[in-house]
A and B are shown apart, each in its own frame.
Chain A
Amino acid sequence: MLTSGPIVVMQVPEVLKVGEVHDFMQELGPLLESNRPRIVLDLSQVRSMESAGVEMLLHCLEEVLKRDGDLKLAALSPEAEVILELMRVSRVFETFLNCEDAIRSFHAIPAEAVPQNTPWYANVFNELGVVKQAS
């Protein structure tokens, strides 16, 4: 298991049948229960996935969203991509070509860059001010 700050990257096993899902959840379970979990699942090794595997992914997503976190899928093998499309869940997940992109996506709008005491529309008005000045 690799970690990058508060973002956890985990490699999903090659085969995701009921048994493997159980083992994987043993490892992933505690992470799901942390505060604002940010998880990247690396699916590059996946060759076979049963519906139990897809259900596990959906369960993980549900759990992290409940705790204000996020789950992203990275480096999907063609097999994983086909299975997720087949089971109509490919659009539910945010997917990335590789783990680096997935990690970077968590930093796309760093929380610390947005002043907590200014309203959300402040930036919009600031940009508008710039436009007015230019004209």
Chain B
Amino acid sequence: MLGAIIIASDQSRQVQGDRFIASPGSELASWAAVEVMGKASISRLADALWEVCDLVSVIATLRDRRNGAQSQSSLPDLADECFASYKRKGCDAVLIARCGAYFELDIATMLAFHQERGLEATRAFVDDGPLDVWIVDPSVVSGYSWVCSPSACARSAVYRSQAYANRLQSARDFRRLVLDGFHSRCHLRPEGAEIKPGIWVCEGALIERSARIVAPAFIGRNVQISDECLITRGSNVESDSHIHFGTAVENSSILPNTYVGIGLDLAHSIVDGRNLINLQHNVSLQITDPVVLRESAARGRGRKLRTDIESGMAMSSAE
């Protein structure tokens, strides 16, 4: 029986330089938790693991929606607890993924490699180095904290893979993942329906008649694209965002719940509410003018990421 533990974090995103910085106390940068073409990388990973694993848990620290309070337990403690419960349930292998990167490993092949080697752990490597992905033997390994120890690397078998991986360490990596998805350089597929070749639109999206969407492009759930807008060159507008009248979005990512004002020219950028990262000028700034950029009023269920992580927790607790 194979169990999987994904260590995620749901910290608030703060733009600083080219990265989203993790809030104090959380251990992972959060690009993997950002919605990309309808679904966060973490959720995509959880879906992929359900195909091959018997048990899947997503460990995340969630903030209380009303007062912002965080759960008292730390991620490693929760992961250790989950690991122990897998052991009790009789798992003979546990996959541990500290989710910072997007990767497309063949887990079944990695598991076969791990069993063949017979070591206490196997770590995945891609062309440019190790990933934070292990398969461990719960009868030998004490818990999640073991993979964080310095001796873990020395005592693990090395599973080399040619699979696609994107470390998602920066805004540039994030844009590269979007473009790789559009151009089929990886298995990441946009959610929703492909209404024309290279144009994906999710349910609830409202695109005015005079707006132009030029492939490849992705329009997420409940997105509103107003008249005379242009969305083009590999842009993705994520759920509950609104692109207002006459604005052009080119080679850019609009993250969920973002309002982009009237008559703007947005190019080579990632926008999250009032935060803008421009990859051409390599600059990040906060636009304080709400008529230009702001967080849009949530229409519906709020941020997808939160929903996905919560459902992940629900799945694990239902076991």
Enumerate chain A interface residues (CB-CB to B < 8 A).
Answer: 17, 47-48, 50-52, 78-79, 81-83, 85-88
Inter-subunit contact B289/A51 (CB<8 Å): yes
Inter-subunit contact B265/A88 (CB<8 Å): yes
Inter-subunit contact B264/A88 (CB<8 Å): yes
Inter-subunit contact A86/B286 (CB<8 Å): no
Inter-subunit contact B276/A82 (CB<8 Å): yes
CB-CB < 8 A to A87: which residues of B?
263-265, 292
CB-CB < 8 A to B269: which residues of A?
82
With A82-B281, A88-B265 already in contact, the answer to whether A17 and B288 are too (CB < 8 A) is: yes
The reply on B282 being an interface residue by CB < 8 A is yes
Q: Report Cα–Cα, A86/B285, bound state, in Å.
A: 12
Inter-subunit contact A51/B288 (CB<8 Å): no
Chain B residues with a Cβ closer than 8 Å to the other chain, count: 18
Contacts A83-B287, A87-B263 supplied; 7 other A-B pairs, CB < 8 Å: A47-B285, A50-B288, A50-B292, A51-B289, A51-B291, A52-B289, A88-B265
A-B contact count (CB 8 A): 41
* Chain A residue at smallest Cβ distance from B276: A82
Inter-subunit contact A86/B282 (CB<8 Å): no
Closest Cβ of chain B to A63, distance in Å, is 23
Q: Report Cα–Cα, A23/B127, bound state, in Å.
A: 56
Q: Report Cα–Cα, A86/B286, bound state, in Å.
A: 13
12 chain-A/chain-B pairs, Cβ below 8 angstroms: A48-B285, A50-B289, A51-B289, A78-B278, A78-B283, A82-B278, A82-B285, A83-B287, A85-B265, A86-B265, A86-B266, A87-B292
CB-CB < 8 A to B265: which residues of A?
85-88
Enumerate chain B interface residues (CB-CB to A < 8 A).
Answer: 263-267, 269, 276, 278, 281-283, 285-289, 291-292
CB-CB < 8 A to B263: which residues of A?
87-88
Inter-subunit contact B285/A51 (CB<8 Å): no
Q: Report Cα–Cα, A48/B291, bound state, in Å.
A: 15
When the two chains form the complex, which single residue of B281, B288, B289, B292 contacts A78, counting CB atoms closer than 8 Å? B281
CB-CB < 8 A to A81: which residues of B?
281
Q: Report Cα–Cα, A50/B282, bound state, in Å.
A: 20
With A78-B283, A79-B283 already in contact, the answer to whether A48 and B266 are too (CB < 8 A) is: no
CB-CB < 8 A to B285: which residues of A?
47-48, 79, 82-83
CB-CB < 8 A to A51: which residues of B?
289, 291-292
Closest Cβ of chain B to A10, distance in Å, is 22
CB-CB < 8 A to A82: which residues of B?
269, 276, 278, 281, 283, 285
Q: Report Cα–Cα, A83/B285, bound state, in Å.
A: 9
Q: Report Cα–Cα, A83/B261, bound state, in Å.
A: 13
CB-CB < 8 A to B267: which residues of A?
85
Closest Cβ of chain A to B18, distance in Å, is 13
Inter-subunit contact B264/A78 (CB<8 Å): no
CB-CB < 8 A to A79: which residues of B?
283, 285
CB-CB < 8 A to A17: which residues of B?
288
Q: Report Cα–Cα, A47/B292, bound state, in Å.
A: 16
With A86-B265, A86-B266, A87-B264 already in contact, the answer to whether A78 and B291 are too (CB < 8 A) is: no
With A78-B281, A78-B282, A82-B276 already in contact, the answer to whether A48 and B264 are too (CB < 8 A) is: no
